[in-house]
Structure 1
Amino acid sequence: MTEQDGRSREAARWFDDEAGPVVRPYAMTRGRTRTAAEGRLDLIAQVIAESRAERAAEDRTLSPEHVEIVERCREAPLSVAELAAELDLPVGVVRVLIGDLLDADLVRVSRPVPPAELPDEQVLREVIDGLRAL
């Protein structure tokens, strides 16, 4: 086997005919698998772009994936799971990328109120009826 054959096999390993060049997920996150905001980034957490994120595309420190997350969340808040699906990236990678954006104050995260913490509908009706009786 020649040196040229070895290089072409190595290149073929990093290229998928249908998808194009393949970038390993750890390359996008610089080898990181966790973020400081890990506890706030469950699958249903809503990611919302901050107003200062309008110029995210001009920020040379952000990767294309970071910019894509900000752009999608500017249109409408999206959950972590939705972002992972739309970007076709593993959830762990998306969590790390969102953590970077949180650190840069380009996005914020809102967690939906669990149904168990919502007030009972019957209690709310009784309060409304009581207020109407006043």
Structure 2
Amino acid sequence: MTTYNGGGRPEPSMVRPYSFTAGRTRPKVDLAVEALVQSLPESQERRHELSNVEVAIVDMSQKSPSVAEVASWLGMPLGVVRVLVGDLVAAGHVRVHATLQEDSSDADRRDLIERVLSGLRGI
């Protein structure tokens, strides 16, 4: 596992992923892995409230990555990142944009899956 060192690059960590979430496995808000995360402007003024990993997520979220992309970049399990992003949403540091609506077609859903897979592969 890797963690953010504040210098823009991930570095190896001996910290167990569940310690970042105090053992919680469910996010405070419902998050799809393909949901796009966007940092809010006021979060920059409140950085002192955040851990290094949370600062990394907020910084990454300026480019609106998906939850899965954040997990990949940090080298952390997706479930842990979902909990951390959920905490950041609840605290008003980031917002999440839904990628599909209830009435989305099967073609829309397949297209989204292909885009997510391409993004994770770095294509």
TM (norm. structure 2) is 0.69
* 4+ aligned runs moved over 6 Å, structure 1: none
SS of 2:105's equivalent in the other structure is helix
Letter in 2 for 1:22: M
- CA contact 2:40–2:95 (8 Å) conserved in 1: yes
The answer to whether structure 1 residue 26 and structure 2 residue 14 are counterparts is: no
In the TM superposition, residue 118 of structure 1 has moved relative to its aligned partner by 8.9
Corresponding pairs, count? 96
1:113–1:68 Cα change, 3 Å = same
Determine the C-alpha separation between the residues in 1 that align with 2:25 and 2:76: 13
- CA contact 2:28–2:87 (8 Å) conserved in 1: no
Q: Which residue of 2 aligns with 1:50?
A: 40
SS of 1:47's equivalent in the other structure is strand
Q: 1:1-134, aligned counterparts within 5 Å?
A: 21-37=13-29, 39=30, 41-59=31-49, 62-74=50-62, 76-113=63-100, 115-116=104-105
Determine the C-alpha separation between the residues in 2 that align with 1:86 and 1:21: 14
SS of 2:38's equivalent in the other structure is strand
Percent of aligned pairs with the same amino acid: 39
Unaligned 5+ segments in structure 1 are 1-18, 120-134
Larger-gyration structure (1/2): 1
Determine the C-alpha separation between the residues in 2 that align with 1:107 and 1:101: 6
Determine the C-alpha separation between the residues in 1 that align with 2:13 and 2:106: 47
Calculate the aligned-residue CA RMSD, in Å: 2.2
- CA contact 1:56–1:67 (8 Å) conserved in 2: no
Select the structure that is richer in helix: 1
